[in-house]
Chains A and B, each alone.
Chain A
C-alpha cells in the first residue's frame, strides 16, 4: 500500500486507489471526511487509524444504508426518510411500547420477558454470514454460528444460549451453471455450510432446532446464511455499564492474522479477486470455555460489562464498550497465535472466540481463578480511562489516537435514491393440471418443499434436553415441524416450571419479486402462524428482521427495501409484534462466467418468538386420530404470484394475494383460545406448495389418511381450484379438531372463516374433492416417498 505520510494531500483518485489496495471499502465521501479530520488534527494518519475508521464506518458495523436518508419515488409520489430504519422498524416497536420488551435495539440482541417467575429474560438475535460462506462455506458458516452465539453471550452481562437457528438460501442444486473461476457450486456451498453449522453447534452443546432452506437461481453466487441464537438471562443481569478505571480483559481465543478485513469485506461485491483471508475456521471448544467462564463470573458479579469481538475485532469491541469512557489499549499485551503480525493487524483482526470484559481491578484475581479453572486464556489489554479518547499503542508505537466522538459520530451519509419497481400483474385464471395427483407429487418433490431430513439429522437438536417441539415431528419422527418449542430448563434449572418458548420463521422472496410490501406482510404472517401452530401465545410475539439485498447503489433495490420496510411497520403494528433486534446485509450481487449479473432477490427473514405457557401442551402438525374433523381456517384468495406451483407450471398468473391484517389477527386470537382450551389436536400452516401440500404433510406425518371436501372452505369470489389447492395466499391454517370438542371449537371461531372440510381416516389415503369435482386421491406412502428426497 502507498505511503501514508502524504495522506492529507492525496487527490480523490489517489484516495480511491489507496482504498482499493487496502480493502477498506470506504466511499469517496468517507475518505474525504477522514482526510478532513487528520488535516484538522494537523498530522498524517497511522495505518491503524485508517483501519479503525474503515471498520467503524463499515456497512457491517454502521448499517449506513438502512439507517441513512432515502428519497423514495413511486411514480409522481415521493417520500423522504431521514433514517429509514428508525422510521419503520424502530417506529413499530416504539409505537407498540410493550412492557414485556426488556431491551431493544441497544445491545447485541433483543430481550423479552420469559416465564412466570419474572426472573428471566429471553435474548434473541439473528444475523447473516453471507460473503464468507461464498468463499469458504465451512469456515464461514462455523464462524457465523460462533459469532451469533457470542452476541447472546455478550448481551447484558451474558445470556446462556439454549437454541441455535439456521436458514440458508442457495442456488438450485438440480441445474447446471457455468460459474466464474473462483466460484463454488451451490451443492458444494450447501454441504460446507451445513457441515460448518453442524460441527460448531454440536461441539458447543447448543441445539440447532429451527430454520429453513430455500433454493433460487438468484442465490447462485451469493448464498445467504442466516444464523440465530436464543438464550436466557436473569433480568437483573441485563444492565451493563463500563466504569472508568475498569480493566479491559480479553478472554477466549488468541489473536492472529486470520479474519483481517471481515467487516469491510461485507461492504463489497464478491469478485474473482476475493480470497479467503477474510474467513476463518471456528473453534467451538474455545468458545465453550469462554461461555462457561462467563456464566460463573456473571453470577458472581466479577465484571461490569461484556461484549463480543465480532467484525472489526478489538477495534470494534473495545471501541463500542469505551464509546463514552474512551479506552487505553496496549496491544503488546495481547495473546497472539502468530508473532508475524503488525500492531494494526492485532487491533482489527477478527480472530474468533474472543470476548471483552470490563473488570474492576479489585475483582481481577477472582476472575483469573475461574479462567484458570476453565482452562480459558485471557490477557489484560489496558483500561477504560474516562477521558473519551481512544489511545492504542504497541510498545512505543502509537497505533490509534482518535477522539471517540469522531469515530462514532463522524461517518458522513448521503441520501440514496429509491424507485418503486414496475411489475406487470397478470391475474388470469390458471389452467387446471391434467392430473391433480401428479401436480401434488411434483410440488412435494420440489426443493423448496421436500423433506429437509438429510440436513436436520446432522444437527444435534436434543442437546440440553429441552427441545419439545422438534424440527422433525409426527408418528415416525420425520414430518416437518412448523416451529421449535424449547423448554429451557438447562438454563433455569427449574424442573417444576414448564414455561417455554417457540421460534418460527417467515420467508417469501418469490413474493418480493412481485410485491416487496406484501412479501414483508406474508413473512411476518407466516412466522406468526408457525408459532400459533406450535401452540404459542402469539399475542406476545417478538420478531427479528434480517434484510439481505443486492447493491444499494441500484435505486430499484432501494425501492424494494423501502416497500418491505413499510410492510414490516404495518405488519408489526397490526400483529402487536414488536421488532426487538435485526440486521441487514447488502452488496449480495455477483457476475457469472458469461458476465450475467446475479443480484439476489430482496430477502427478508422474519424470525419470531412467543411464549408457550406450558410446553407439555405444545401442538404438532401430524394427524392424531381417525375420526377427528379437519378444518380449514382463513380465506383462500386468488393469485399464484410467488408460489411454488408457478415454478413447476408457468401459469402466467403472478398476482400476489393481499394479506388482510385485521382479519388474520382476529382469526389467530380465536384459534389460540381454542388451542388453550384443548380443542385442537394438530395444526399446520398453509405456505410453500399451498393447501394440498399442507394436508399431505399432516397426513403422512401422522400415518393417517383423510377424506376431504373443500366446498365449505371460505374463498374469494372467482377462485379456481388450482388457486385453492396450490395457491399460497396467507393467513390460512389446517386444523385437526378433537372429536367431541367440535361444538366448543365452533364457539371460539364463531363468525370467522373456519370451515369443516372432512375427517381423518384410518385408511392411508388422502382424497380431496371440491363440491362435485373429485380432485385427487393418493396413497400417503406414495406422497411421502415423493417428499422425502435426499438433498445432500
Chain B
C-alpha cells in the first residue's frame, strides 16, 4: 500500500516555488507543480489500519492531506516518482516502521519512503533529463515518469 501525503494547496507555495526554481536551474521551464511524500507500507493491515496510519501518524492535518489512492493531480503533465533503491538504507522508512509498530501494535514487513512530483512542463524528455540532473542520483535512487 502506498500512502501519499500532500501539502494543502494554500500552504504549498514555497515548496512548489523551490521545486520550479531547481528545475529552471536544470534548464526546464515548469508551469506548475505539486509535490507529495510517499510511504510504501507492506504488512498485513486492513484498509482501515492503513487509513489510520496515514491520517494519525504520517499527516499534519492542519497543513496536509492524506490519500490511500493516487490523489487528483490538479494539473496536466507528468508524474515523477522517486525512491531509494531497495539495497540502500532508508532511514526515514526505518523510523516510520518503528512508529507503525507503536501505533498499530504490529510491525510491518517493510516501509520505504519516496517522493512524487506532479509537473506541468513542455516535454517529458526534457523533464527526464532535468530529473536525472537534479532530483535523483541514479547510483542510489530509482525513478519513473508517467504522463497524467
Contacts and interface: CB of A to CB of B under 8 A. Distances in A.
B123 interface: no
A453 interface: no
Interface string B25-45: 100000000000000000000
Contacts of A184: 137
B122 interface: no
Contact of A187 (B25, B88, B90, B95): B25
Contacts of B133: 185, 188
A182 B133 CA distance: 11
Majority-rule SS of A interface residues: loop
Contacts of B25: 187
Nearest to A184: B137
Interface stretch (A281-289, A495-503, A525-533): A281-289
A136 to B, nearest CB: 5
Interface string B105-148: 00000000000000000000000000001100101100000000
A201 to B, nearest CB: 14
A129 B4 CA distance: 34
A185 B95 CA distance: 31
B81 to A, nearest CB: 18
B15 interface: no
B63 interface: no
B137 A281 contact: no
B56 interface: no
A275 B134 contact: no
Nearest to A282: B91
A27 interface: no
B60 interface: no
Contact of A192 (B84, B95, B137): B137
| Contact-residue bracket for chain A | 20 to 34
Interface string B50-67: 000000000000000000
Interface residues of B, number: 13
A279 B25 CA distance: 27
A280 B139 contact: no
A283 B94 contact: yes
A280 B95 contact: no
A256 interface: yes
Nearest to B89: A281
A258 interface: yes
A252 interface: no
A67 interface: no
A276 B137 CA distance: 10
B110 to A, nearest CB: 13
A281 B88 contact: yes
A192 B25 CA distance: 15
Interface string B79-92: 00000100011110
Contacts of B140: 136, 139, 276, 279, 281
Nearest to B136: A188
B137 A136 contact: yes
Contacts of A675: none
Nearest to B85: A276
Nearest to B21: A790
Contacts of B91: 281-285
Nearest to A259: B89
A136 B23 CA distance: 20
A345 to B, nearest CB: 14
Nearest to B141: A136
B139 A135 contact: yes
A276 B94 contact: no
Interface in A134-193: 135-139, 182, 184-185, 187-188, 192
B137 to A, nearest CB: 6
Contacts of A279: 140
Contacts of A135: 139
B139 A258 contact: no
Interface in A682-720: none
Interface of B: 25, 84, 88-91, 94-95, 133-134, 137, 139-140
6 contacts: A187-B25, A258-B88, A276-B137, A279-B140, A281-B84, A281-B140
The 5 closest A-B pairs by CB, nearest first: A276-B139, A281-B89, A283-B91, A136-B140, A276-B140
Given A139-B88, A139-B140, 12 more contacts: A135-B139, A185-B133, A188-B134, A275-B139, A276-B139, A280-B89, A281-B88, A281-B90, A281-B91, A282-B91, A285-B91, A285-B95
